[in-house]
Structure 1
Amino acid sequence: MAKSITDVAGRTYDEPRYKEGEAGSDLTPGELLVQTGTNADGEPIYDAVSTVDQLGPQAQFAMVPTTPPKRDVSDTDPIDQTISAGTLVQVRVFSRGETVQNALLAAGSDLTTAANANVSPGDRLGTNNDGSLKITTTGGAAVAVAREANDNSSAAAGDRARLTVEVL
């Protein structure tokens, strides 16, 4: 599932914006996130977007952990390691025109229409209910456009792929 790069990164035009908070559930770097509340200390809680074709989500993605609690030291590629619920999650906010590498593309088996996981450059992408992206035709739901082709339509449930996208 991982590409050669081991982070969620991209081309930026301004100073990159970062946030951090508590993971409200287990997260994977590259998932599109939404703030779902605050914890007892007033810190934001982030979860993967859980709505199909959510209208107007902010382009903020979970990053590979770099600060305590540090990622595990197993042989698993850091971009594929789980950010456990209740731990620190680092979030990168992308602006219109910026490129996101290693965003997650939904598995066809997780979609009502598996073909929505077969993307070509220029396809408009919206949210799936697991923080991944898929082709959308719903007005106002597109958060990005695909910058590369990737056919994940026959993938098993939960087997998301990595994709480079440009934020709308």
Structure 2
Amino acid sequence: LGKEIVVASPKGGQTPIDPKSDLPENKTAATKRYYGDPDTQNVLSNTVKLTTVSEKNFDAIFYPGGHGPMWDLATDKDSAKLIESFYFAGKPVALVCHAPAALKYARRPDGRWLIEGKRVSAFTNTEEETAELTNVVPFLLEDMLKQRDANFIKGED
């Protein structure tokens, strides 16, 4: 398709892996394929540092999910600035699952939250309760998004 995917992380280098995801009982055919693919392992071992990424060099930005963004991307000011730069350049910004945690500090030039009044969806409080992780995560994503006046959309529990 002629598109290049660049994988970035706050520190660059090896991406952090959730230790629970690495437990034998959590291995699936997909994770075995993931660990067995040398190209994938090479990309994830050599991510570029977020501070080296500019919206001028990319068409869109995508943040994958999993619980990890709740700890690193949620508090990474460089990540928030990167999201802001893509958004205000009119380029697509996509975040799934727990990745909207990266919007925690993203703001508009007038100081309002970037997601204020925007329709958003993410991992819900109910899903966190079902996973029995409400006392593990640093904050509840649904609550944070609502506190920033996002129009949080979710299906029935």
**Pair in the same fold by TM > 0.5:** no
Structure of greater relative contact order (alpha carbons < 8 Å, 6+ residues apart): 1
Larger strand percent: 1
